[in-house]
Amino acid sequence: MVKNYSTKNFTNEINVDTDSRIISGYAAAFNNIDSDGDLIVKGAFTKSLNENGVDSLKPRIFHLYQHNVAEVLGRPTVLKEDDYGLYFETKIANTALGNDVLNLYKEGVLNEHSIGFKTIKAANRGSYNEIQEVKLFEFSTVTFGANANTPFLGFKSQFENPEEITQQFDKVEKMLKGEITPETTALLSIYLQQLKTTFLELSTKSVEAINPLEDSLSEVNPIDEAKEIEAKKAQDVELIKALMRGYKTA
């Protein structure tokens, strides 16, 4: 399945200037095979940076907290590729969230980052997948457990239960009630990519949950099995529609 939105985490030394509120470091590293078997090469971010980077005509790449579009830490003042990876400098916003995050940076609690992107071009190199071009939506300050190689699933956790989904839609609704700026549009675009990917994966998993071995042992009719799969897909679609209807009429 082609994902509309993916994440990859990276741990590295971070420079923190509390006076200027500027954080600097790397959001991604090149030529490093990660736990997913992916390797990002230099140049993968070039097109995104040219189109939506700091020095572009439409700067739309944000620095978020936990990949949450409702929790913006700021916009990078510097975002560029060098020989090591994707380097960034961000002035953290003077907000309650920004102050908390800045203190956590200062105390060394936060030192990991994750990029939110869509793979545009990749090549299978046998032992790994070489990512040659991506569309970069954002990069985030993230927290992890003891295992730094654990894939980040934070944005998916926003949609794990009805209460969390409602909270997310409420936050997005507040964004819509305010002034609709290019920044708001860009953030909503990221959110929709996350939402689309999450529900596609949930739908796929619900279909895969049907055990073909159990079906064969119980001599399930192939026609009935196909109907069951289609019914499950329909249920997932109706769930998404219901959620969106509830959001639109809230």
pLDDT tens digit at each of 250 positions of the chain: 456 667 787 777 789 998 999 999 999 999 989 888 899 999 999 999 999 999 999 999 999 998 888 889 999 999 999 999 999 999 999 999 999 999 999 988 888 888 999 899 999 999 999 999 999 999 999 886 333 433 334 444 555 566 666 666 676 666 666 666 776 676 776 767 776 666 666 666 555 555 555 555 555 566 666 666 666 666 655 555 554 554 443 3
pLDDT at residue 149, as a whole number: 39
pLDDT number for residue 83: 95
Task: Return the residue matching tokens 């290019």.
Answer: 182
In which residue are the tokens 């969230």 written? 97
Please tell me the predicted confidence (pLDDT) of residue 36.
82
* pLDDT at residue 155, rounded to an integer: 46
- The label of the residue with tokens 């990660």 reads 34
CA 55 – CA 181 distance, rounded (Å): 19
